[in-house]
A and B are shown apart, each in its own frame.
Chain A
């Protein structure tokens, strides 16, 4: 197996008493697009900031290109493109000034690449940043990050607040960037549809811990769904199903989402004595949602939300 581009070992970060990232062991393999998913506050941005060497871990290690991320050489930094959350640019600059300003920090800079991405987002080079829309700011940020032709691209929620057209332009640019299979992308996102389109791998963080780190296909195949007629079902028995991720009441039926289902899982589902049990294939988005909802309901492991009562 190829050396990972990013690797953490028991990475932990506290802010005061608050463990935001806890015992994280993650590997980002080269040449792939990895999506980091999690609810707000799950620790995604903190993890990314440690990877970029902007925060020191409280404990544990984080390596990028095999170097300690806190002490990356300028040469290694040059190989990383990093886009912070919020697409920050100086409002008083014109788009072309942003490029001039940024390129001063790099030994490699591809003007054609910058111009092409900016054009792809439909932006004129003479526009002041203050007059750009959110989506256009994202486009300029992306162009600035890609012009030095990085090997590793780290994007913190790049699609946040983008209109559909800019989102599409962002996805197109990312697909194009990753197409050769030589370059690595790590991005955090809440947009599961986009992740399904462009990612090879998915990581799910819940309360600072890594719960899932695998390929999209594997993730799909490891999550299975059952629909059981629930009038007769005993809640304790539901809670006892091995690998249960989520149980949701929809009308008179109970939808169960289970990770790594095996014979014991099936046996446990059958022990519910429901009048009917149906196996369903879950969309990727539903599988992720099931994982994320679970973390929202720490007190009651099983949600018995009735249809229509959910917000």
Chain B
């Protein structure tokens, strides 16, 4: 996977890194157990302050997306249930509400929204092999 970072964005750089790795894991571009570049190597590649990468990685570890193995580096974690069902529901609503508000403002009706969601899901879901 290739991470791309934009400066001058309203999204802080560390969050851009977090979002892109999270997305790559969710879409199966990064498989469970796959190693990530070291903090230093990724910092060098992206020309970013290593502390920014370290911060992104530790946020991903906290959220259960990555795991850190002492002395070996960072790996994609097996999907674990780290949130209660209620918390998962809350998190889903948190991202869904602005999405729905935007979609409705743009004039999409319920059916169109469902179709669009379906299309995106198909695009995202990892190829079954």
Contacts and interface: CB of A to CB of B under 8 A. Distances in A.
Interface stretch (A70-78, A110-118, A167-175, A236-244): A167-175
Given A176-B44, A179-B43, A192 B49 contact: no
A284 interface: yes
A194 B47 CA distance: 9
Interface in A127-166: none
Given A197-B49, A198-B48, A179 B40 contact: yes
Contacts of A194: 7
B50 A197 contact: no
B50 A217 contact: no
A285 B7 contact: yes
Nearest to A282: B10
A179 B50 contact: yes
B49 A175 contact: yes
Main secondary structure of the interface of A (DSSP, over half): helix
Interface residues of B, number: 16
Interface of A: 32-33, 168, 171-172, 175-176, 178-179, 181, 192-194, 196-200, 217, 220, 280-286
19 contacts: A32-B51, A176-B44, A178-B50, A179-B40, A179-B43, A179-B44, A192-B7, A193-B8, A196-B13, A197-B7, A197-B13, A197-B48, A197-B49, A281-B10, A281-B11, A283-B8, A283-B9, A284-B12, A285-B7
Given A175-B43, A281-B10, 20 more contacts: A33-B49, A171-B47, A172-B44, A175-B44, A175-B50, A179-B43, A181-B50, A181-B51, A197-B13, A198-B47, A198-B49, A199-B49, A200-B49, A220-B12, A281-B11, A283-B9, A284-B7, A284-B8, A285-B7, A285-B8
